[in-house]
Structure 1
Amino acid sequence: METSTCPACGSGRGGDAVDLSPLLGVTSDCKPWSQSGLIYFCSRCGLIQKQLNESWREDCRIIYQNYEMYSQGDGQEQSIFLDDGAMPRSERLLSNVMNGYGLPDSGSLIDIGCGNGSFLKVAHRVLPKLKLTGVEWDGRHKAMIEAIPGVQAFIEFDALNDTAIYEVAVLIHALEHMEAPREILSRIARLLNDNGHLVIQVPDWVQNPLDLVIQDHAFHFSQNSLQYLLGQVGLRIAELHNDWVPKEISLHAVKNGSDTVKPDIVHNRPSHRDLTDGIGILSGFIKQCYDSFGTKPFYVFGSSIGAAWLASHFDEQITGWIDEDPIRQGRTFLNRPIHSPESADRSIPIAISLAPVVAKKVFSRMRNLGFSIGAVVGLQD
């Protein structure tokens, strides 16, 4: 079974079908979801897409109707923990952009898929002369966005004026939700001035197979497929990284780059074997949980996507969550308490349901604190 055309590389074969069942799903706002389904893998560029039919659209309608952004942190963006300490995701992204190719310090910036304004707040603090515009698909956060210093306007996507011109556009964890990514990027490119900048961040399915089971993600990107997609709309890549924020792809493109821009960045194309290995990691982790915990209660490290996905499979056994983010500690997630590592009961074992690149580091930290760890994504052997 095949789809028609890959929107990233234009291949006539949209992709070979892969069934994620019996793995269950999760929503992008961190709620368990009772099913997964078919995905399609493009062997030419490595792009993966969901089966974008009416059933999937109805799922998305239900998910977005009750969407809660960062509910486990009282609406505050999650922190990213690296060797240099913890920092909110938007702040870490913008810091890397500014330390690299950089952005203009004046003009206008449009944040498409601005959510509750996490990036806009950071942008005003770092680049206070920029005039900011937030765009979302509905107006539920309109008053919140308009109250952010530096914001000139909030616009619902359907009312976006295609004649407006901006120096900077950002798409942070938005592109993966869109059914027509090439058309969206073409439209954004037309909104940029002749020397405009585009900053994108999306999940990296190669580093993080958990992205595959997020039900409302229409597409799952690799560095290679995202590079193909930008080439389709005539933007030149200045920087493309998957280590600025672990398990995320961060891309900085320009409309008319100078000779310092590297237009021919090449990344290894993920293979069908990479996909089956990723699915195998998730299936192996679920089996490891059954083997390690049986019917006994256990903690889950984290309180985001991976934790909610594990709750889809083991809801009754999960007794609580362990999180290093002080903003979340002492709160609840899925009606269970979020503990700090220091306050958690050492007699209860832990499952670490995170991207493998992150899970390995957390495993070492928790083991050094004396926890019994029963299951870790990517450490099944």
Structure 2
Amino acid sequence: MHSTQKAHLFPLESVPHASPLTIRTPANTTATTPVQQETPLPASPWRWDVDQISRHTRTDYTLPCCLCGSHLMTSIEFAPNFPWVTSDLRPWKSKASLSMCSTCGLLQKCTDSRYGEDVADIYATYSLDSADGSHDHLVVRAGGFKARASALIERLSEYGVSLQASGSILDYGCGRGAFLRAVSESLPGWSMMGADLTEANRIDVEKIEGAEYTTLSQLPVERRYDVISLIHVVEHLQRPTEILNQLSLMLTEQGVLLIQVPDFSKNPFDLAVFDHVAHFSVQSLKNLANLAGLDSMVVAEGLIPREITMVAKPKLGRPLGMQATDGPEETLRTLEWLSNCQQQAVSLNSSGDPFGILGTQVGALWIDQASDAKATFFVDEAPRRNSEKFLGRPVLFPSDVLFQNRVLVPFLSEYAKPIAARLVEFGVYPVLIRSP
């Protein structure tokens, strides 16, 4: 039996058309450049049905939660033309929908057989080349930029996690070895094993000093590790509880699991990644740890921006009960932000003037697909991306953008404002997304 529950979007804040951003120039003079935040926006060409949320209470419901197995699910249906992208930066034309488990609170894709076939197709042709897999993402650190993996290792000590001079690590889902490369540079006394789906990454990983490689199907389960890392892996798993439980058996007595996942409430584009099965909040990640028999020693939102980092170890005794998470309102607010982002891109495109989009990852690809507003160029603060192309268009360093050209900054306000301040120093006109 199905019952219907109405959900209401959070009201939009009243944001002025433009607000001045005051920064200090290198000459210690004050410069003020307007930062566009909101204009009258066109209607979105696609909408998800956010006002019709069905709560499935039948115990024989065929799509149980991928984390706890509950059949009590709240579903959010998307319009057929909602744009999806893959984690290796490809548009994906199939359909998907989201469900939130009313028991453990995990937000997840509806993993029916069609979805499973699509994900299998994605992985069969998965290409880390298109996702810049040979390099790690950069994060702002100590006034400059640092590889995400290096920043993660560096900051663990701030949270009471001390890595000894020697040890062993298994990087489960290692890709081309970005995290193992950071371990090799920071902890040269460690032995390292990388594991992934196919042989495609073997050559790259084995180039890292001290690193071995194996496929997941050939993983030697008798070996023990001081650290098992899953960096942006758990969100891809359809049976995360089972896999974490199995991996915990491969830890040494004092060993820990190091898990990092996107925080969808801080990075809304995570919801549009087709092959991301699960979309975590802090509490739903803690619930996963409890169900897998793990004690979450550290759960941090700010260790790496827009991501959740967990350090966990096996615990004795029975798993603790799960705690409630926020209802669907946070999800709906995140989806509304995506709608605002799409509409802002359409508005920029309609002006007829050249404009750019900040970033060369999932967010930029999604905006390009969602709005059909083809940016003239993309902007990336990483110098190594300068003079490259993304989606067939130039990637510019901020200093190469023509004076007062508009650049859409597709981040939540707390992250967009410091980025906008840096762009203003180069004479760029940043355009921010209004908050729901």
Q: Same fold (TM over 0.5)?
A: yes
Query: Which piece of structure 1 moves more, 286-295 or 141-150?
Result: 286-295
The change in CA–CA distance for 1:50 and 1:35 in structure 2 (over 3 A counts) is same
The change in CA–CA distance for 1:301 and 1:168 in structure 2 (over 3 A counts) is same
Query: Which piece of structure 1 moves more, 187-196 or 109-118?
Result: 187-196
Alpha-carbon distance in structure 2 between the residues aligned to 1:349 and 1:318: 10
- State the Cα deviation string for residues 157-182 of structure 1 (Å, max 9, x = none): 11122222211100000111111101
Alpha-carbon distance in structure 2 between the residues aligned to 1:250 and 1:216: 20
The change in CA–CA distance for 1:322 and 1:30 in structure 2 (over 3 A counts) is same
Query: Which piece of structure 1 moves more, 284-293 or 213-222?
Result: 284-293
Give the deviation of 1:313 after TM superposition: 2.4
- State the Cα deviation string for residues 299-333 of structure 1 (Å, max 9, x = none): 11111110011111245621110110011111111
* 1:286-297 correspondence runs (5 A): 286-294=342-350, 296=352, 297=354
2:334 to 255, 259, 278: 278
Alpha-carbon distance in structure 1 between the residues aligned to 2:82 and 2:151: 32
SS in structure 1 of the partner of residue 254 of structure 2: strand
Letter aligned with residue 270 of structure 1: D
Residue in 2 aligned with 1:235? 294
Q: Which structure has the greater CA radius of gyration?
A: 2
Letter aligned with residue 340 of structure 2: G
Residue in 1 aligned with 2:252? 193
* 1:1-381 correspondence runs (5 A): 2=56, 4-9=63-68, 11-13=70-72, 15-21=73-79, 22-34=81-93, 37-69=96-128, 71=130, 73=132, 75-82=134-141, 84-99=143-158, 100-151=160-211, 153-255=212-314, 269-294=325-350, 296=352, 297-315=354-372, 317-374=374-431, 376-377=432-433, 379-380=434-435
Alpha-carbon distance in structure 1 between the residues aligned to 2:216 and 2:253: 23
1:162–1:187 Cα contact (<8 Å) kept: no
Alpha-carbon distance in structure 1 between the residues aligned to 2:376 and 2:155: 38
1:194–1:255 Cα contact (<8 Å) kept: no
Query: Which piece of structure 1 moves more, 4-13 or 56-65?
Result: 4-13
The change in CA–CA distance for 1:273 and 1:182 in structure 2 (over 3 A counts) is same
SS in structure 1 of the partner of residue 385 of structure 2: coil
- State the Cα deviation string for residues 312-360 of structure 1 (Å, max 9, x = none): 1245621110110011111111111110000012353221223554223
1:194–1:256 Cα contact (<8 Å) kept: no
Give the deviation of 1:31 after TM superposition: 2.5
Query: Which piece of structure 1 moves more, 308-317 or 276-285?
Result: 308-317
2:165–2:189 Cα contact (<8 Å) kept: yes
Consecutive unaligned residues of structure 1, counting only runs of 5 or more, are 258-262
Q: Give TM-score, length-normalised by structure 2.
A: 0.79
Alpha-carbon distance in structure 2 between the residues aligned to 1:220 and 1:328: 29
The change in CA–CA distance for 1:119 and 1:190 in structure 2 (over 3 A counts) is same
- State the Cα deviation string for residues 86-144 of structure 1 (Å, max 9, x = none): 11111111111234322343332100000000111111222222211000001101111
- State the Cα deviation string for residues 163-209 of structure 1 (Å, max 9, x = none): 22211100000111111101110111111122211100000112122
- Percent identity between matched residues is 29
Alpha-carbon distance in structure 2 between the residues aligned to 1:10 and 1:196: 28
Alpha-carbon distance in structure 1 between the residues aligned to 2:411 and 2:148: 16
2:342–2:371 Cα contact (<8 Å) kept: no
2:346–2:372 Cα contact (<8 Å) kept: no
The change in CA–CA distance for 1:134 and 1:48 in structure 2 (over 3 A counts) is same
Alpha-carbon distance in structure 2 between the residues aligned to 1:41 and 1:292: 34
The change in CA–CA distance for 1:232 and 1:305 in structure 2 (over 3 A counts) is same
Could you list the structure 1 runs, at least 4 aligned residues long, displaced by more than 6 angstroms after superposition.
none
The change in CA–CA distance for 1:70 and 1:92 in structure 2 (over 3 A counts) is farther
Alpha-carbon distance in structure 1 between the residues aligned to 2:401 and 2:231: 33
1:70–1:77 Cα contact (<8 Å) kept: no
Give the deviation of 1:70 after TM superposition: 5.7
Give the deviation of 1:17 after TM superposition: 0.9
Query: Which piece of structure 1 moves more, 119-128 or 45-54?
Result: 45-54
Give the deviation of 1:216 after TM superposition: 0.8
SS in structure 1 of the partner of residue 309 of structure 2: strand
What CA RMSD, in Å, does the superposition of the two structures yield over aligned residues?
2.5
Give the deviation of 1:284 after TM superposition: 1.6
